């Protein structure tokens, strides 16, 4: 059972991604709980202020210490977090091994920045892990958090109907997934590889492995160089 709390100024952005398909099933089965918390609940005044101008000048607003500290501390009264994660383009690049590790934890708190980010003192004081989802800039951490939660959620045992299917994902063994086909066996003259129709599981397995290696060589040779 994994519980994920998410602090955000735009909770609406996180409504859709977890309400469908596999993420919905994970929650319905009681294997995953995702709770979003609007940072404005901890705003410092009646204007619902949570951000302010950066000291030293410059463009963009910074999420203030006080609302974030109060939000984190209030949530900590009822939860002991295994990790407090800040979503930021200068974090560690998210990958499948990180997803695997996070999926084994019980309680996660994810902080989504917006505008120019959050006050550095919150990062120094509370954050235990900083995650980026790639080398490009999003306008906030919410979509990145949705990516991370999806990648983690589907790895929780019992979430995928065929429990072995996460094992055959791309990246799970540093190989890309092989091509897949379904009916019809002949679509406008384009045929499904014969070996998949013959019903010899060993041959199918060998073929899929070869295809995976071939795909990885041509598309992602860098994956062979890792570890």
Q: Does 133 bind ligand 6GU (CB under 6 A)?
A: yes
Query: Shortest gap between Cβ of 98 and ligand 6GU (angstroms)?
Result: 12
Helices (H), the chain: 21-28, 65-78, 96-103, 120-125, 142-153, 201-219, 222-225
Q: What is the Cβ-side half-sphere exposure of residue 15, based on CA atoms within 13 angstroms?
A: 6
Q: Which of 11, 17, 89, 153 binds ligand 6GU (CB under 6 A)?
A: 89
- The candidate with the shortest Cα–Cα distance to 3, out of 27, 38, 25, 33, is 33
36 binds ligand 6GU (CB under 6 A): no
Instruction: Give the shortest CB-127-to-ligand 6GU separation in angstroms.
Output: 12
55 in contact with ligand 6GU (CB under 6 A): no
Q: Closer to ligand 6GU at the Cβ: 34 or 131?
A: 131
Residue 112 region, left (φ>0) first, then alpha (ψ -120 to 50), else beta? Answer: beta
How far apart are the C-alpha atoms of 59 and 61, rounded to whole Å? 7
What are the backbone angles phi and psi of residue 154, rounded to the nearest 5°?
A: -70, -15
Q: Does 144 bind ligand 6GU (CB under 6 A)?
A: yes
Least distance CB 87 / ligand 6GU (angstroms): 3
Write down the least CB distance from residue 14 to ligand 6GU, Å: 13
Q: Pick the piece of the chain touching ligand 6GU (CB under 6 A) from 3-11, 128-136, 155-163, 203-211.
A: 128-136
CA distance 181 to 204: 12
**By rule CB under 6 A, what count of residues binds ligand 6GU?**
13
CB 144 within 8 A of CB 131: yes
Q: Which chain residues interact with ligand 6GU by CB under 6 A?
A: 87-89, 131-134, 136-138, 140-141, 144
């Amino acid at each position: 059972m994994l519980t994920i709390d998410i602090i955000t100024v735009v909770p609406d952005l996180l409504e859709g991604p977890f309400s469908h398909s596999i993420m919905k099933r994970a929650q319905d089965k009681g294997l995953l709980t995702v709770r979003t918390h609007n940072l404005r609940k901890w705003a410092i005044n009646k204007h619902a202020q949570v951000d302010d101008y950066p000291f030293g000048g410059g463009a963009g607003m910074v999420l203030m210490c006080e609302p974030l500290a109060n939000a984190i501390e209030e949530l900590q009264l009822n939860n002991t977090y295994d990790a407090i994660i800040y979503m930021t383009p200068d974090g560690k690049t998210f990958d499948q091994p990180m997803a695997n590790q996070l999926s084994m934890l019980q309680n996660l708190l994810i902080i989504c920045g917006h505008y120019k980010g959050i006050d550095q003192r919150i990062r120094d004081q509370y954050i235990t892990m900083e995650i980026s989802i790639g080398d490009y800039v999003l306008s906030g951490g919410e979509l990145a958090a949705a990516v991370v939660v999806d990648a983690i959620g589907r790895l929780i045992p019992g979430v995928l109907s065929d429990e072995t299917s996460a094992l055959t994902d791309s990246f799970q063994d540093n190989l890309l997934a092989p091509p897949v086909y379904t009916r019809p066996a002949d679509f406008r003259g384009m045929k499904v590889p014969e070996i998949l129709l013959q019903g010899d599981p060993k041959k199918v397995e060998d073929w899929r492995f070869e295809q995976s290696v071939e795909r990885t060589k041509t598309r992602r040779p860098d994956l062979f160089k890792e570890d």
